[in-house]
Structure 1
Amino acid sequence: MSKKKHVAILGATGSIGTQTLEVIKSHPDKFQVEVLTAQNNADLLIQQALEFQPNCVVIANETLYEKVKKALIPADIKVFAGDKALAQVVEMENIDVVLTALVGYSGLLPTIKAIEAGKHIALANKETLVVAGELITSMAREKGVNIYPVDSEHSAIFQCLVGEFHNPIEKLILTASGGPFRGKSKNFLQNVTKEQALKHPNWDMGAKITIDSASLMNKGLEVIEAKWLFGVRQNQIEVVV
């Protein structure tokens, strides 16, 4: 019987984090939750911790520390708070995989610390590679750490390339829905409001990612992410709406 993978989920209360916990719940023989973290959603973090019984949790917003601690004392779950704690918990000896599902470049330092500690990375935080792609990929090679893309097209591309790594990539195609403004004229786009941009037709992803999607900024970030993940030049990546 194979050994369970012990997982740290950074951003457990977000879309990727909650979906990851659903996968773990479906495969209790393969995965054990070791660490859960959240920025502000203390209530959901407490609920998740009571269900999955991690070794510890981190609430990044330090003003919510007492609330989380009080709720989890009876369950004997350790509670830490703040960004420094977030970067430190990933170094725990019994963690095998760190899922980085934080928003923005807040995922950078914890990912660096996890790689330094020899943990494999499941990456759902494209900004980490956008701001430090060369550093992250060279560190991962040096430490013998795998980086698994788990979000969006990059996960699908990764799965398509399994067993094909010795074949050179000619072109990668990323798809874009066009968001709420697909097919709109330039005149229309000159007067759009924030409220319109936040109405994504398919997904509920939080304000930052939704605005990035509506402006196609998110797709630009994904092009940079793909460059570092798959070792291709940017002129080998095509975006199709």
Structure 2
Amino acid sequence: MRNTIKTIGKNVKITQSDEQGNVEKLIVPIADIPNRVNEGEWDDNPSLVLLLINEYWKTGNFNNADLILSYRCVIAVVFLLHCVMTNGQAYYTHRNFHLPVYLATERMGMANNIEGAFYGKESKAVAEQHILTFYQNMLEGSDKGLKLSLMGQKRYLNSMTYSLMMCLTNMLSRLPCIKEGEMTLINLNFRLNARANAFAKAIYQDIREENGGDWFTLYTKDDAIHVDIIDGVKGIRKLVDTCIKTVER
């Protein structure tokens, strides 16, 4: 798919053409770009996301909330493209696990783990400034375009525990499941179930290494919640199962 865009006044004209010569055209208000990208409208076309955000940045007319959305979306795409370049496909490798990268999952992880951390400690105005500085420092230019800086790679990967768990949840939630009492059993794919158990162990090890104990912090818009892990690896696996039940509902 070939993408071309042109700014006309307060709008961007998108023209997409495929190898068969089919052409699609779309007019998008520049002010709507951050929200529409963040909602996943063009998740199947990462290169178009970068083009659209670049046009949005050129205007210089934005508020902090939308600017944060734009950086969140760009960093997610840059990370996905980094994985494609490194692994040959959109997979992230973690402790010998190869997990698919979804832009929606990456955005959710950043909103909760990075932005949530700042909003939980500072006023809205101060938090927004810190988030923007943080995100800007996560990116740097190269001869091939934007890429994650060394700081960005370290900080981003440190925030991946949540995202990785959501990736696993997405994978498992697509499998046929049955209910037994209050638990969800993934019993139609024993290999993936075994990998889920092993992955829960890896997540548990990461949490202990990062926090120095069986606990982690869950950030919400208004608060930071200390969460104790009960029953070690089994507790993490139950957390994954709970996420799956939520997705199913």
What's the TM-score once normalised by structure 1's chain length?
A: 0.27
Higher strand share: 2
